[in-house]
Amino acid sequence: MKSIKSLALIVGLSISFFSNAQSIPTVDEVNNFFMNQQMLITSREGGPIYGTFYFLEIHYCPQGYGLYGRSSKQTVMGNYQTNNWQEFGTWKVIEQNGLVGLFYTVNSTGAQNFVPVYKLADGSFSVGEGYTIVHQGQAICN
């Protein structure tokens, strides 16, 4: 019985922390945050030694987005393998299944994806744990 009470307390505290840590923003808040802005989104995948770092410079323009990506990882031989790519497409902020986020379509492949956006307690935005969003200034739009 004592372990059930402890578990309930831990679960209750976890839910309370999660609900206070982030919330679902409005469509207007997310649209205002990204529209005409250049963002750097970074993440890491894999282990501490041979993990891959991702750097995505994204320009969010009214007519679409431009993504300039770079990944870098250390190889077993101690050197670095770097890949660069570009991607262009359309984006819009939508509400889907109770979440608000970026819905985008890649021009070259037609692939579509929805990325939920969360508003943190300090007013900043996040696209999930392990991702960092850094505002880089005005987007360069054609």
Mean pLDDT per 10-residue segment, the chain (142 residues)? 40 41 94 97 90 96 98 90 97 97 97 97 92 96 86
Q: Please give the biggest Cα pair distance in the chain.
A: 65
Asked if the structure places residue 7 within a domain, the reply is no
3-state DSSP assignment of residue 20: helix
| Bridging pattern class, strands 22-23 and 118-120 | antiparallel
Identify whether 85 is part of a domain: yes
Residue 10 lies in a domain: no
104 is in which domain, residue-wise? 22-138
User: What pLDDT is recorded for position 50?
Assistant: 85
| pLDDT in the model for residue 83 | 98
Report if residue 14 sits inside a domain.
Answer: no
Q: E strands along 24-79, which residues? A: 37-45, 52-61, 64-74
The answer to the question of residue 126 being in a domain is yes
The predicted pLDDT at position 19 comes to: 46
- Give the per-residue pLDDT at 20: 53
Lookup: tokens for 3: 């372990």
Judge whether 2 lies within some domain: no
Per the CB < 8 A criterion, the answer to whether 40 and 55 are in contact is yes
Look at the chain and report how many structural domains it folds into: 1
Q: What is the pLDDT of residue 49?
A: 81
Q: Are 71 and 54 in contact (CB under 8 A)?
A: yes
Predicted local distance difference test score (pLDDT) of residue 2: 44
Instruction: Determine, yes or no, domain membership for 8.
Output: no
Report yes or no on 35 lying in a domain: yes
